[in-house]
Structure 1
Amino acid sequence: MSLHDDAVLVLKGYEGQDEAQDELRGRYLDHLAAHPDGLWKSCADGHVTASALVADPSRGRVLLTLHRKLRMWLQMGGHCEPEDVTLAASALREGTEESGIAGLALLPGGPVRLDRHHTPCAWHLDVQYAALAPPDAVEAISDESLDLRWFGYDEVAEVADESVVRLVAATRARL
């Protein structure tokens, strides 16, 4: 099965929490139907990306990265790569690379949210997962970040935009 096929299956199985999420799911599926290259950065009309919010529920916190290019506090994530066999694998790879934490585990049940946003390269149709950090997690900043920091659930709204706040809320509901 190709990554494109996996993305279609994941999105068809995704159950949004509200009408807006269901509408977004439909837009993602329409995009993939119209663009066989819709998962790759080279697709100028936008592309599906995968992200992972790294959570430590025992301490009530999430790990955010201060993105080098966007200069915003965000979850880990980015473009799919040819070696990614599934969207979940892409999200886990991005989470691991950008957090430096080995042993992350995605929450079961598939994506937590969908979020469409414009970036300097194109529209990102982000499929957002949540990843649990192991108890002994030690983060390490990557080249893609200016900073990497743990924030309590209630602190996220002070540093991040509404899309991250919604992702944290959806992750907490899934937990």
Structure 2
Amino acid sequence: MSLHDDTVRVLETYDDRDDGQKELRRIYLEHLAARPDGMWKSCGAGHVTASALVIDAERRRILLTLHKKLGLWLQMGGHCEPQDTSLAAAALREATEESGIRGLTLLPGGPVQLDRHAIPAPCHWHLDVQYVAVAPVGAVAEISEESLDLRWFGYDEVAAVADGSVVRLLDRTRAALSARVRG
């Protein structure tokens, strides 16, 4: 299965009752149906990206990167690469590369959020599919070339440092974690 096909499958099975997420899901699927290159950075109309919010093993903190180009505290993530075998693998690769943490595992159940955001030309949009990655006990983060800083934040600190998209991702992450505890 190609990465494009896997992404379509992930999006088709992404189930969210939120109308905004349903609309984004529709936009992503239409984009991929119209653009065979819609997974790649070279697609000027926009492209799918994969990211993961890294949480600590105790599920009390998240790891954010101070993005070198944007100057914003964000989750780990970025462009899909030809060697990625699935969208989940792309998110896990990006989280591992940018956090320096080996042994991350994705929270089961697929992505927790879709986030479409404008980016500077020559491209126009990132169609981000966002997962949650859990760090192993005792994980030590190491800063990457793509980051100005890397720092753990308590859940209650995130709104003061990050933008609304990260806050929403944290809220959805916490809801997903709660659902798994109840289930």
Does the pair score TM above 0.5? yes
TM-score of the aligned structures, taking structure 1 as reference length: 0.98
Distance 1:15 1:157 in 2: 26
Q: Percent identical across equivalent pairs?
A: 72
Alignment root-mean-square deviation, CA: 0.8
Q: How many residues align?
A: 175
Question: 5+ residue gaps in structure 1?
Answer: none
- The equivalent residue for 2:89 is 89
Q: Deviations over 1:1-28 (max 9, x none)?
A: 0000000000000012401001100000
Give runs of aligned pairs for residues 30-41 of structure 1, distance below 5 A: 30-41=30-41
- The equivalent residue for 2:75 is 75
Q: Deviations over 1:66-116 (max 9, x none)?
A: 000011000000000000010000000000000000000000000010000
Distance 1:7 1:148 in 2: 29
Give runs of aligned pairs for residues 1-175 of structure 1, distance below 5 A: 1-56=1-56, 58=58, 60-120=60-120, 121-175=123-177
Question: 5+ residue gaps in structure 2?
Answer: 178-183
Deviation for aligned residue 1:122: 2.8
The answer on whether the counterparts of 2:57 and 2:136 sit within 8 Å (CA) in structure 1 is no
- SS of 2:58's partner is helix
TM-score of the aligned structures, taking structure 2 as reference length: 0.94
